[in-house]
Amino acid sequence: MPVMSVKRIDVPGGAILFEDTLARDMSNEKFSVEYYLSAGRMIGSAGGRGTVSFVRGDNGEWAIRHYQRGGFIGRWLHDHFWWAGETRARSFAEWMLLRELRARRLPVPIPVAARFLRHGLAYTADLITVRIPGASPLSERLAQGRVADKDWHTVGSGVRRFHEEGVYHADLTGHNILVDESGSMHLLDFDRGRIRAPGAWRQANLARLERSLRKISATTDGVQVTDANWQSLLKGYDSLG
């Protein structure tokens, strides 16, 4: 794995961390969708909380995510988080965790840059990663009828790989699991994720994933996640035990 070089720069109102082998330089405009639109480098976007924009970056395609709050409090604070210091800024924490997971050769996006901007006692945050080529969310593949039995097994064994490394994912859902055209599994969105000692959180993680898949099945026309599908996933999970 190539040696990566971390740089940190101050920008008006905040700071940016970036990987200088992936980005020629960084500034606030590199996090702006308008910048890529005006340069004809906009590719598209994906929905969900904190819409992700896909752009042509300095070195391949990038995914830019603006952090949004969810739940009840998100109705008022939207994209603002309480400031508790630079090391606890969500974008910086996720960027550093992704670097650690890449070092452990886990299938996660390559982190390019992270930014926070202060707004009094609060801050906003953004993250840029390398877009995973040919990959789509498990939820999308379900809607398209493109999930085979072997894919369920692959997802289960993939989740187990993360758990064996002590990786806690705070929002393990069918939307954050990607499957590429070769059938390989990748995991996205490590906001509030961390490395933990083994414990009951592993089963809670699996239960969260099952609830997500059942919800997708109940709310998406033409999608049915069966008990047999879930058992195939669990067999994949147990295959690494």
Q: How many residues does the chain have?
A: 241
- Token pair belonging to 237: 């999970």
Residues 205, 229: Cα–Cα separation, whole Å: 17
Q: Which of 126, 171, 189, 191 is catalytic?
A: 171
Distance of CA 58 to the CA centre of its chain: 20
CB atoms within 10 A of CB 35: 16
Alpha carbon distance 94, 99 (integer Å): 9
What six digits make up the tokens of 30?
């590199």
Verify whether residue 171 is a known catalytic residue. Answer: yes
Residue partners of 28: CB distance under 8 A and separation at least 6: 11, 12, 16, 115, 117
- For 226-239, the DSSP string reads -HHHHHHHHHHHHT
Amino acid identity of residue 133, one-letter, is P
The catalytic site residues sit at 171
